[in-house]
Amino acid sequence: MAKLSLEKRFAVVEPNDDESAVERLDYLTKIVTEFEEHLAERASHYLGYPSNQNCKHFVGLSQLLQFNINNCGDPFTEGDLGMHTKKFEVGVLDWFAKLWEIEKDEYLGYVTNGGTEGNLHGILLGRELLPNGVLYTSQESHYSLFKIARMYRMDCETISSLATGEMDYADLKRKLLIHKDRPAIINVIVGTTFKGALDDLDIVIETLEDCGFSQNQFYIHCDAAMFGFITPFLNQVPKYTFKKPIGSMSVSGHKFMGTPMPCGVQITRKSRVNSISQSIEYISSLDNTIAGSRNGHSSMFLWYGLNIKGLKGLQKDFEECLRNARYLRDCLKDAGISTMLNEMSNVVIFERPPDHEFVRHWQLQCLRKMAHIVIMPHVSIEMLDKFLHNLIKKRGIWYESGKVEPPCLAEDIGICNCACSLHAKG
Ligand SMILES: Cc1ncc(COP(=O)(O)O)c(C=O)c1O
């Protein structure tokens, strides 16, 4: 068979009448193998996005790809459909319920399509419980929060944040007092998207109490997309737990755990879900999720990943990520580059490179004058050394003439972390 041009390879090409099924499969396998090589190369330069690329062990589940699996409806109601993984899903949910400290008979939850769906579900429960509530979420929130406010037509107050990325509690207080005659629905971020900061749940609850909000006048959703697997290991940071008056908490499965497909987990109090739960006769289950059909494979992948790693394995991975993040921060500092790393975070902020090709090569995420690297378990010291070598060499070219200077990051990460020509001397 003649070799097709690259563009044609991505197109869906109708099978030829004179081509055998075997020839067709051989040809497709060749394209997939080439694409696999491309992905392997990209994974070895994957620094800026919060996904763990150490996924090889999940190949152990490949035999399940021969089945079409759907966990439609409530995970706790198996229904008549047999092609599901709900028993494994409940195993995963029980693991998270234990981690986030809620009794088995007090929680409901499900495996979602990712952190965004967890937020959609959590804020919906808050809105159903407190229909006149105002949504409060910090300016560092993931974009899904602002989209959710628009989708649900909710009044939304954006709370300013500190240079670290953490919510500014004084601003929260000011805004709560402006709307003190209306209930509050608060999104607490457990690992902000860009700076990896932690909103302090205890201070948020204290602020609500100070402003005169009783527990039936507020609902808290914890967006733990990034750190949901991790925060319970840390005693230096406020504990995110259902022992405190929160309504729901969600995490992404593809981020720290590195499931090969996007997924997540949402846990909420049973009492909260009743408001949205409806019995649907023809699926012989309850509808209490955002999606209808739900990916049955992702429950298996989470179950498999948790069984392989266990809590201790996740803790070990995270400690290594923290060590590598501090290594990168120190090397950047030593090279005279503006940088910031929050105390218990794996997200290193530094100056935005002025070269799009470089950004694409290392797959960095950029915002205003900043770029960040998310140290996930696949990011080794060797990879960081290659990156640093490349960055320092390129900076010599970008800033050689002296006409263009490295950006000032004082406003974004604080004067003490800024190494621009104005602040380095100070
Ligand atoms: C804090 C936070 N919340 C929610 C999300 C959305 O998660 P997902 O991409 O799994 O939908 C992200 C993604 O980066 C995030 O950082």
Per-residue pLDDT at 166: 97
Q: Which atom of ligand 1 is nearest to the CA of 224?
A: 1
For 82-112, give the DSSP string.
Answer: -S--HHHHHHHHHHHHHHTT--GGGEEEEEE
Beta bridge partners of 282: none
Structure tokens at 237: 């940071």
Q: Which atom of ligand 1 is nearest to the CA of 252?
A: 10
Q: Which residues contact 269 (CB under 8 A, 6 or more apart)?
A: 102, 106, 107, 108, 242, 247, 248
Residue nearest to atom 7 of ligand 1 (CA): 115
> How many A from CA of 229 to the centre of ligand 1?
14
Ligand 1 pocket, residue 118 CB under 6 Å: no
Residue listed under structure tokens 């729901």: 248
Q: What is the pLDDT of residues 365-415, one digit of tens each?
A: 999 999 999 999 999 999 999 999 999 999 999 999 888 999 999 999 999
> 63-308 in CATH: which number?
3.40.640.10
Per-residue pLDDT at 195: 98
Residue nearest to atom 14 of ligand 1 (CA): 193
| 285 classed as catalytic | no
Q: Which atom of ligand 1 is nearest to the CA of 114?
A: 10
List the chain domain ranges: 63-308, 310-417
> How many A from CA of 370 to the centre of ligand 1?
19
> How many A from CA of 227 to the centre of ligand 1?
10
Q: Which atom of ligand 1 is nearest to the CA of 264?
A: 10
Q: What is the pLDDT of residues 191-247, one digit of tens each?
A: 999 999 999 999 999 999 999 999 999 999 999 999 999 877 766 666 899 999 999
Ligand 1 pocket, residue 264 CB under 6 Å: yes
* Domain 310-417 of CATH type 3.90.1150.10: yes
Predicted TM-score of the model (pTM): 0.95
Q: Which residues of the chain have pLDDT under 50?
A: 1
Q: What is the rounded end-to-end Cα distance, in angstroms, of the chain?
A: 67
Residue nearest to atom 16 of ligand 1 (CA): 193
Per-residue pLDDT at 23: 94
> How many A from CA of 193 to the centre of ligand 1?
7
